[in-house]
Structure 1
């Protein structure tokens, strides 16, 4: 493991631009379950009503029975309530000031990267704390869902409100896809995959593309994924421990 860390430090010392692709594993040490769906809880199981979670949390179900989708959104949010960013999120935010370009592409909806101080964040699946009306222009930022009705309605027009997240079957937000594509087109000297199960093509894509361009790639994950045999270096450890180790060695790689 020590040799693997040294190799990552060498890559960091040469990089002027870095991309961190993060998944549920980076928030696991904050107490957020690494479950399926919007940050998850069910891990492939059906809900108590016998409906697969992918169906309960789908765009079509929300249109037909928003109260059912909201039931599970409330359960998910409550399971995460009180959690906050951890040292791994903090380190990535600190690293933003160490390179000419540094971005985070995350599939998480917990908002921890921005809360920890990262400014260049593409939260491709949205943020569970941002709400919007399904009809009018009403939006609201909430700390948690404790004050929300079981199926909240808009205070302006009375229509159903929803979190600004990507439900199953829904397309990714065009404006965030545009930012992602713009930055990926510019390219990165070094790409990290941290705590992702590497299931979505737009999450694995940046790593595979960097590998194809012969740019160094690093995976930080206590387990193995489909990317483990593709990356240059795999740190088989938790996100907090790995990020702490890299930050502790910043004198060896930090520019300026």
Structure 2
């Protein structure tokens, strides 16, 4: 594995436009289980019953009971060494940006600046009727669902099942995938569209793919050039150290 770290560090050191794509696996070490893993939200709540935008609109109060569990989890989490390592790569001029599928804001809290939040975030919310925005701290969660002054239910600013990816986030993510020369794929199996298209697009444009994932994914045997089969919290700091940052 040391050889894979050295090879990845060498390739990153020669890159001009490296980008990272991150998924749930990078935040597991921060205490946020993958939604689909044992102990994750979808082991407690049926995703179709609680995670779909149609479910929210039918019964927002019921869905907010799940959202409160999620909110407590996200607000109690702290960045881990993997998040800090990516921030160091950006600060060192190596990494030009991050596309994350996570809604936990841990990249920004670790110091990363150029972060595309593909599925939105939990820092704020908006009315599902009039689209007025509210900082998370202003929400009164004593009665569920929280309501906008217009009377409409307030929902988090992340993507439910059945919704499209925010237009600007999708455009920027695809632009970064098209232009990068190295793509770090960290903690994601990249099986859910449209995020799953990003490594394929990058590879098709000639990018070198470095995958950091303890298990093999659908990418490993198809587009990955180097697979580092370690948790992100070990692999990324080792990669930063190998680059002498």
Q: TM-score, normalised by structure 1?
A: 0.86
Shift of 1:146: 8.6
- Aligned partner of 2:243 in structure 1 is 250
- Counterpart of 1:138 (choices 132, 135, 138) is 132
Question: Is contact 1:15-1:99 (8 Å) kept?
Answer: no
- Counterpart in the other structure of 2:15: 15
* SS of the residue 2:124 aligns to: strand
Q: How many residues align?
A: 243
**1:226 paired residue among 211, 218, 226:** 218
In the superposition, relative to structure 1, how do residues 145 and 93 fare at CA in structure 2: closer, same or farther (>3 Å)?
Answer: farther
Q: Structure 2: which 5+ runs fail to align?
A: none
**Does structure 2 retain, via aligned residues, the 8 Å contact 1:74–1:145?**
no
**Secondary structure of the equivalent of 1:181?**
helix
The match for 1:66 is 60
Q: Does 2:194 correspond to 1:189?
A: no
User: Superposition pairs for residues 1-256 of structure 1, below 5 Å?
Assistant: 1-36=1-36, 40-43=40-43, 47=45, 52-99=46-93, 102-142=96-136, 147-154=141-148, 156-185=149-178, 187-229=179-221, 230-251=223-244
- Distance in 2, matches of 1:221 and 1:182, equals 24
Q: Could you tell me whether the CA contact under 8 Å between 2:10 and 2:243 is conserved in 1?
A: no
How many Å separate the matches in 1 of 2:2 and 2:94?
A: 27
Contact preservation (8 Å) 1:17, 1:189: yes
Q: What is the RMSD of the two structures over their aligned residues, measured on CA atoms?
A: 2.3
Deviates more, 1:222-231 or 1:144-153: 144-153
Provide the secondary structure at the position in 1 that maps to 2:42. Answer: coil
SS state at 1:70 partner: helix
In the TM superposition, residue 81 of structure 1 has moved relative to its aligned partner by: 3.7
Q: CA deviation at 1:78?
A: 2.5
Q: Deviations over 1:85-127 (max 9, x none)?
A: 1121111112113337611011101111112121111111010
Does the residue aligned with 2:194 lie in a helix, a strand or coil? helix
Runs (4+) of structure 1 exceeding 4 A deviation are 143-148
Deviates more, 1:124-133 or 1:235-244: 124-133
Structure 1: gaps spanning 5 or more residues: none
